[in-house]
Structure 1
Amino acid sequence: MATQDRKKAAALKYELNYDAPIVTAAGVGYLADKIIEEAEKNSVPVVQNKELADLLMNVDVGSNIPEELYNAVAEVIAYIMDIDRLADRR
């Protein structure tokens, strides 16, 4: 299987006082599976977005996301916040 066809995953952390979200983990194949497994085990939302995952793979772990990814990541954060709000209503 070619590398571009293997599963990729990146984990982000964002809090209101941050300048930008931080990449906390990134990996391909087995490591991607482990990142997703840990997220699910800790009730962290998982959003599938292949294009964004591809771009986040180029960001060093521990670094802020680059400005060109702000809009795409903001959409993901807004989506997760909407899911959280809906879950709170139940």
Structure 2
Amino acid sequence: MTLWIPRSNGLTPAEEQLKCYLKRYDADRDGKLRWRELKTAFHSLGLHLSCVRAARALRHVDVDGDGYVGQEEMDELVKYATTKWGLST
């Protein structure tokens, strides 16, 4: 019998839930979050100054400098949002 063990990405269950929530704001379903999509997501979570926070988050996690939060950068975005602003769903 094979035991299935999920691959750990270092996120807690609450962080995984936040990640799924944020992915819902990928309006064009290209797997990337743009600044405007981040702003909308943060606003829906009740964050004040969502424009500024989206810009800061994007600047912090956009490692490749393409102006988007890609799949590879999503975990870092979730960790940033939970530690910096105490976000959880």
TM-score tier after normalising by the smaller chain length = 0.3 to 0.5
Name whichever structure is richer in strand by fraction. Answer: 1
TM-score (norm 2): 0.34
Which TM-score applies when normalising by structure 1?
Answer: 0.34
